Chain A
Amino acid sequence: MVGDHPGELARRAGPSLIDLARAWIAVGSQSLGGGSSTLYMMRAVLVERRKWVAPDMFRECWAIGQASPGMHLVALSGMLGERMAGLPGLVVSVAAMVLPSALITVLFTAGLVEIEQHPLVQSLLRGVIPAIGGMTVAMATFFGQTSARRGRVAVVDWLVVGGTAVLIARTGVPVLFILLGAAVLGAFALRPVAARPNPPGRD
């Protein structure tokens, strides 16, 4: 198992690439319902069932993956694959997790394109599209909650959320500039409330 002891990063004889691919295909093709179920399945397969990754290693990779751009689960699968079997393990892990999922997504899409002009499908979509709008708003509030600080300063953070939404809807400013602005604002004005200056003599 990689990381039997806290802090241990040394790689021992890990799983073969074939075994690794099989495990990640199971994660990528059977974890229904989005990110949290995929994360749950990763842990169940790699930590509990196969015992290739120690719980502390899984936690550490997860925490680092939270700082990655894009899909955190892709970062996590790459990191775990690299820890288990080096660069080939990274490539196999990421490919085996995303390819089945991508293939199923394309097949669903192709199927929908074929039948979407049918009146019954049009009726279904008449309900689904506004619901997707509501579900996207729910996801936005979830993002906001996970990013916002606690206490009174949360008001400031939620004003940033609302302000950003109005800014993009009213002006159409490129998203890149809005996110850069939010990053600079955050670095200077949205720091943790509990942070205190370092003690004298420390960097």
Chain B
Amino acid sequence: MSPLEFFLIFLKASAITFTGMGSLPILQQELVQFHGWTTDEQIAKAVAIGRLSPGPNGMYAVSIGYVVMGWLGALLALLGSVLPPLIIIPLAPLVRRSIHRPWVDGLMRGIGLGSAGLLLSVGVGLVAPNGFSLAGPGPWNLALAVLGFALTRTGKLHPAIPLGVAGVAGVVLSMAGL
């Protein structure tokens, strides 16, 4: 893999999505499905680290960069993630004028809803690697996912709390051989 190609994946993931976590579906598709450079499990660990680290949620991308390509990968992931949002600075006067136009509002809504759907698919994929199959996830995986969902849903708890509870549950399940 070339560093330039790696950088461009992160740049694209940040440039065509909104918010830090919005880039997750593109990174998952490019790095896991298209190139096979990492796994869904590594992506999940990176998201967990990103939630536990200070700063914006989008820093999870730096963790993925480090796992795949070491310090250079972390730097490329950081640059690729940080540069696209800055385009708004020269465009600020234009945005100020046009942000309330109905078609702009609709366009941004379309991207927001599309990103939500893509993120939903990634989340389900982490619980049920076979996707929307009839077999479904194992009951304990499903219970842990519901726990993570419920403790995150209100947005009032620090992410370390659901992750800590789930980690303890994982230890108990492993000790019980489940």
Contact = CB atoms under 8 A, between A and B. Distances in A.
Contacts of B49: 105, 108-109, 112
B86 A164 contact: no
B56 A101 contact: yes
A47 B173 CA distance: 47
Interface residues of A, number: 102
Interface in B61-96: 62-63, 66-67, 71, 74, 78, 81-82, 84-89, 92, 95-96
Given A127-B169, A179-B115, A135 B57 contact: no
Interface residues of B, number: 111
B63 to A, nearest CB: 4
Contacts of B124: 133, 137, 165, 169
A130 B86 CA distance: 34
A143 interface: yes
A16 interface: no
Main secondary structure of the interface of A (DSSP, over half): helix
A132 B137 CA distance: 14
A155 interface: no
A44 interface: no
A75 interface: yes
B3 interface: no
B116 A147 contact: yes
Interface in A47-104: 63-65, 67-75, 78-79, 82, 90, 94, 97-98, 100-102, 104
A113 B141 CA distance: 23
B59 A69 contact: no
Nearest to A101: B55
A34 B155 CA distance: 10
A134 B113 contact: no
Interface string B37-61: 0000100111111111111111110
B166 A68 contact: no
List of 8 A-B pairs having minimum Cβ-Cβ separation, nearest first: A186-B110, A127-B170, A164-B117, A101-B55, A182-B114, A147-B112, A134-B148, A133-B126
Interface of A: 27-36, 38, 63-65, 67-75, 78-79, 82, 90, 94, 97-98, 100-102, 104-106, 108-110, 112-113, 116, 119-120, 122-144, 146-149, 157, 160-170, 172, 174-176, 178-179, 181-192, 195
Interface of B: 12, 14-26, 29, 33, 41, 44-60, 62-63, 66-67, 71, 74, 78, 81-82, 84-89, 92, 95-96, 99, 102-127, 131-132, 137, 140-142, 144-153, 155, 158-160, 162-163, 165-171, 173-175
